[in-house]
Structure 1
Amino acid sequence: MVLTMVPLLAGLSVLQMVSGSVLESFEEVLLANPALLILVPVQIGTAGNLGSIMCSRLSTQLHLGTFEFAVDNPSIRSNSGAIIGLGVTVFALVGVAAWAIGRALGGTLGLVEVLTISLVSGTLLAVFVVVVSLIAVSTSYRLGYNPDDTTIPVVTNVCDITGVLILFAVITVVL
């Protein structure tokens, strides 16, 4: 396991540095809008949590022999729908909370703007989480690795950087 994970984690660490660089480039926008500053860690953390849930469920199905990588697999569709539904629900609540906290800290963004940014970026990220989780579990299995060991670090790290990129893309379009 160590031989598998050390190179994997080294590569993922490089991805995290890229994510930090992107985050730093938007520092002025974030400091000017406290609600958006609140969204960043929540976006990243929630994406990792959704990815962990999806990978765990798919890995369990794989170990039980019920995982079939096919679009018409009802189990994949139901798990994907649950993750996307959970993402939409969580990001709606996060948007309202970020707006309220941002207002309390002197922010000027309206509820509609913050909620739109949170929902659109969160929904796009939830869809991305589903796709990356499916690819990570099947690839890990095909390469002979235990998906329980490899997929969660991969998905959480990839979704960290993607979450930051998606959030700032949506912020740029909305604002």
Structure 2
Amino acid sequence: MPTSWTVRAITRATLPVLLALTVVEIGSGLVLGSFESELLRYPSLLALVPVIIGTAGNLGSILAARLSTAFHLGTLSFERGDELLAGNAAATIALSVTVFPVVGAGAWVFTRATAGTQLGFATVVTVALASGVVLAFVAIAVTLVATYAAYRLELDPDDVVIPVVTNVCDVLGVLVLFAVVQVLV
């Protein structure tokens, strides 16, 4: 069993990252709390929050898992013309363009059935799509940086990249969603 797969090595690699990410998540909660009145005013936005940030984290996690596997297979080069990186990034963007409108439509239908005042269907779907596409680019950037940092620090990307990506997407997901809301609503 390689030493990098011991409980001690994994804990040593992940504990500092998880502690730092805990502070980051507290910041996300504070940002989310500052938009409470807007969320209560538009229930469809409230329904979008967990789904948007969760889906963005999932897209980043999928990309992180694929890059980590490529890293372990020795097929990841981190060079400008790396087709593996470009193909996975394009797939992440394509997934976001197809998934986030469905997320928006689902949030609209759910809140239409359960809440009174409502934003228009097209508005909710557009907010979800715009937020999702921006978050796809954010997830790609965060995943590439985290994977490269793990490589440079000689850490196993399986241990650190997915927690970093999901937590950063949580925080930035809240910020991106409300930036898009400020522009479109």
TM interval, short-chain normalised: over 0.9
Q: Larger deviation: 104-113 or 83-92? A: 104-113
Q: Please name the residue that 1:23 is paired with.
A: 32
Q: 1:103 aligns with which of 112, 115, 129?
A: 112
Given that 1:35 and 1:107 are in contact with CA atoms closer than 8 Å, whether structure 2 keeps it comes out as no
Does 2:126 match 1:125?
no
Does 2:178 match 1:168?
yes
Counterparts of 1:36 and 1:70, CA distance in 2: 39
Counterparts of 1:46 and 1:122, CA distance in 2: 8
One-letter amino acid of the structure 2 residue matched with residue 46 of structure 1: T
Does 2:76 match 1:78?
no
Q: 2:42 aligns with which of 8, 26, 33?
A: 33
One-letter amino acid of the structure 2 residue matched with residue 82 of structure 1: A
Instruction: Give the aligned CA root-mean-square deviation in angstroms.
Output: 0.9
Unaligned runs of 5+ in 1: none
How big is each residue's C-alpha offset from its partner over 1:20-61, in whole Å with a ceiling of 9 and x where there is no partner?
000001111111111101100001111111111001100111
Q: Please name the residue that 1:52 is paired with.
A: 61
Bigger radius of gyration among the two:
2
Counting aligned pairs with the same residue, the percent is 51
- Cα distance, 1:107 vs structure 2: 2.9
Counterparts of 1:56 and 1:75, CA distance in 2: 13
Counterparts of 1:86 and 1:120, CA distance in 2: 13
Q: 2:21 aligns with which of 6, 12, 23?
A: 12
Unaligned runs of 5+ in 2: 1-9
Counterparts of 2:184 and 2:74, CA distance in 1: 44
Q: Larger deviation: 10-19 or 98-107? A: 98-107
Q: Larger deviation: 130-139 or 1-10? A: 1-10
Q: 2:77 aligns with which of 52, 62, 68?
A: 68
Counterparts of 2:33 and 2:13, CA distance in 1: 31
Counterparts of 1:160 and 1:174, CA distance in 2: 21
How big is each residue's C-alpha offset from its partner over 1:72-114, in whole Å with a ceiling of 9 and x where there is no partner?
2111111111111111111010111111122222232101111
How big is each residue's C-alpha offset from its partner over 1:107-160, in whole Å with a ceiling of 9 and x where there is no partner?
321011111110001100011101111111111011010001010001111111
Counterparts of 1:74 and 1:5, CA distance in 2: 30
TM-score by length of 1: 0.97
Does 2:164 match 1:154?
yes
One-letter amino acid of the structure 2 residue matched with residue 145 of structure 1: L
One-letter amino acid of the structure 1 residue matched with residue 158 of structure 2: D
Given that 1:39 and 1:118 are in contact with CA atoms closer than 8 Å, whether structure 2 keeps it comes out as yes
Given that 1:88 and 1:119 are in contact with CA atoms closer than 8 Å, whether structure 2 keeps it comes out as yes
One-letter amino acid of the structure 1 residue matched with residue 52 of structure 2: Q
Counterparts of 2:79 and 2:121, CA distance in 1: 40
Given that 1:113 and 1:174 are in contact with CA atoms closer than 8 Å, whether structure 2 keeps it comes out as yes
